[in-house]
């Protein structure tokens, strides 16, 4: 088993190390690659556990006015797992309906700047808030220790325990009713994809069968549903298979991080409920995608189709794209495709309760009160139309959606600016993206 090292003693070459505040009662947590146990969360019953993803950052390489760089928060029951932490992630959390929780685990896909630059600020914020518990663990690929060695001057001495764990493809973190698997991707650097895989659930309890067998209502039925036999007062042994239907599948969520299309991703994503795959480029930039080991929307859709997933969510969108054009390209191959924006949520119910679904703005906090005259009076540009006919058509579309729209000449060309209240900007962008062929009608600013 590898040794554990303290920040005050320097950095090591072990596969896992931690640092913690000095003082009496130091506690170390030992970690063995390939045998990593679940953290000290209470073992949950899988039945009824909510599962969703909050997209905090969906841009590639750099932030834009509409998209922050990479960060996704996975919420499962009471767990909050952060995947990647680009610059501004803590502010995105603070702007969201989630707030900035005491995150206990962060999972890095790779160590490029647009996926990790938010770490020093967020970890320091936790310290400034006086956090001493709970401990924080960061999982990542080879090189994660070196990254934190570079961060050390900015972090200083933290008042809470921070553990760094470097993993290789094939490692699994067992959590009782689910596990987190690291898998190989193709990005030209040390990188990991992540899959959350739930265990099978017991089949539905057959009340009529239990009554017929004489199983009384009460704890005995719970024991059977938990998978253990019970002995009745007359000595009869009733086994779970006598009162339970076929086992029901758990859920599976796969997050690739940056990668070209790869067989390893298809294998890891097989029959996933949700595949979050990067789509940095469109078809016209296929060569650039191949040069940089990124994926096009079409290639991501091909992976989703071959893996037989239920829903594909495209992220890591280059600033050159609005997102709707990538959705059209992908849907030509795999119709069940969405392109989330920042603060959108994808909810993943159990299979018998419906399909995964995109909830637009589901993670957004209300930034203003319901009545804000200042916001209502500020008009901002949402699109540019080529002529009066197109502008009026777009204006009518927005008004039909309940959004006030005004037209003004564009000072820089012969088109017309389409303006909406600042408070309605996101709703207007959604209405425009819903057009079947938006690029034939307008160009977004």
Known catalytic residues? 114
Task: Specify whether the CB–CB gap between 316 and 83 falls below 8 A.
Answer: no
Show the CA angle centred on residue 305, arms to residues 303 and 306, nearest 5°: 65
Task: Specify whether the CB–CB gap between 271 and 309 falls below 8 A.
Answer: yes
Six-digit token pair at 322?
Answer: 């609005």
CA distance 122 to 365: 19
- Backbone φ/ψ region at 400: left (φ over 0), alpha (ψ -120 to 50), beta: alpha
Short-list 438, 280, 434, CA closest to 358: 434
Short-list 90, 81, 89, CA closest to 114: 89
CA distance 224 to 244: 8
Backbone angles phi, psi at 95, to 5 degrees: -80, -15
Residues in a beta bridge with 33: none
What burial class does residue 221 get, using C-beta atoms within 10 Å of its C-beta: 0-12 exposed, 13-18 middle, 19+ buried?
A: middle
Which residue do the tokens 């009745």 mark?
232
CA distance 132 to 125: 12
Task: Specify whether the CB–CB gap between 416 and 374 falls below 8 A.
Answer: no
């Amino acid at each position: 088993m590898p040794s554990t090292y303290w920040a005050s003693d320097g950095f090591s070459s072990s596969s896992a190390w931690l640092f913690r505040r000095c003082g009496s009662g130091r506690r170390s947590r030992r970690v063995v690659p390939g045998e990593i146990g679940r953290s000290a969360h209470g073992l949950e019953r899988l039945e009824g556990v909510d599962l969703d993803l909050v997209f905090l950052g969906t841009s590639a390489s750099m932030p834009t006015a509409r998209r922050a760089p990479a960060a996704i928060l996975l919420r499962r029951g009471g767990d909050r797992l952060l995947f990647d932490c680009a610059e501004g992630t803590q502010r995105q959390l603070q702007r969201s309906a989630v707030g900035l929780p005491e995150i206990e685990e962060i999972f890095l896909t790779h160590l490029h700047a647009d996926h990790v630059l938010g770490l020093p600020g967020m970890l320091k914020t936790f310290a400034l808030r006086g956090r001493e518990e709970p401990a924080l663990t960061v999982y990542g690929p080879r090189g994660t220790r070196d990254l934190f060695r570079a961060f050390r001057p900015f972090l200083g001495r933290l008042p809470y325990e921070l553990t760094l764990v470097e993993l290789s493809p094939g490692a699994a973190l067992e959590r009782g009713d689910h596990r987190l698997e690291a898998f190989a991707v193709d990005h030209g650097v040390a990188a990991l994809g992540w899959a959350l895989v739930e265990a099978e659930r017991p089949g539905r309890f057959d009340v009529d069968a239990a009554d017929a067998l004489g199983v009384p209502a009460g704890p005995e039925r719970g024991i059977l549903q938990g998978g253990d036999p019970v002995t009745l007062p007359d000595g009869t042994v009733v086994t779970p298979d006598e009162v339970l239907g076929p086992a029901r599948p758990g859920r599976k969520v796969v997050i690739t991080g940056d990668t070209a299309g790869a067989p390893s991703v298809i294998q890891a994503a097989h029959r996933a409920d949700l595949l979050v795959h990067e789509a940095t480029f469109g078809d016209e930039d296929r060569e650039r995608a191949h040069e940089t080991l990124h994926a096009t929307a079409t290639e991501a859709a091909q992976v989703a189709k071959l893996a037989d997933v239920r829903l594909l969510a495209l992220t890591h969108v280059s600033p050159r794209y609005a997102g709707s054009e990538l959705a059209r390209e992908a849907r030509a191959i795999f119709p069940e495709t969405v392109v989330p924006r920042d603060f959108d949520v994808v909810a993943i119910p159990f299979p018998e309760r419906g399909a995964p679904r995109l909830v637009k703005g589901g993670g957004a906090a209300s930034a203003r009160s319901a009545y804000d005259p200042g916001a209502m009076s500020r008009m901002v540009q949402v699109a540019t139309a080529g002529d009066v006919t197109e502008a009026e058509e777009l204006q009518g579309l927005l008004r039909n959606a309940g959004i006030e729209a005004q037209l003004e000449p564009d000072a820089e060309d012969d088109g017309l600016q389409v303006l909406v209240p600042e408070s309605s900007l996101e709703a207007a962008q959604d209405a425009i993206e819903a057009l079947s062929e938006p690029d034939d009608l307008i160009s977004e600013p």
